[in-house]
């Protein structure tokens, strides 16, 4: 009978650094994704709390959609945006 190797063994002796390397994130990238997730939850909560007034709902809804857009951009490109801040040359 053949043995199937579903996943190759991975050396995790260095702890979190190895874990982040396997998922393709650095510590800063993980923090950026977490901040984006919090902003997305806030934007969704803003969308759920729209009022019955058409003008107020349009204004609050557009702010919520803008906040959600910022969260998506931060989740996709946040590590690239903030990499210049952490890699300063002196």
Q: pLDDT digit string (tens) for 20-75?
A: 666 666 666 777 788 889 999 999 998 888 878 888 888 988 999 999 999 988 88
Longest CA–CA separation in the chain, Å:
70
**Are 50 and 57 within 8 A, CB to CB?**
yes
Model pLDDT, residue 22: 65
Candidates 81, 45, 77; CA nearest to 63 is: 45
Domain ranges of the chain: 24-84
Spell out the alpha helix ranges (H) of the chain: 16-23, 27-48, 54-86
pTM summary value: 0.61
> Which residue would you say has higher pLDDT here, 54 or 5?
54
């Amino acid at each position: 009978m053949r043995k199937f190797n579903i996943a190759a063994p991975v050396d995790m002796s260095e702890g979190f650094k190895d874990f982040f390397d396997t998922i393709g994130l650095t510590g800063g990238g993980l923090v950026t994704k977490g901040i984006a997730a919090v902003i997305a939850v806030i934007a969704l909560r803003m969308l759920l709390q729209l009022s019955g007034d058409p003008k107020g709902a349009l204004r609050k809804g557009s702010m919520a959609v803008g906040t959600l857009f910022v969260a998506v951009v931060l989740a996709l490109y946040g590590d690239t945006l903030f990499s210049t801040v952490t890699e300063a040359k002196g």
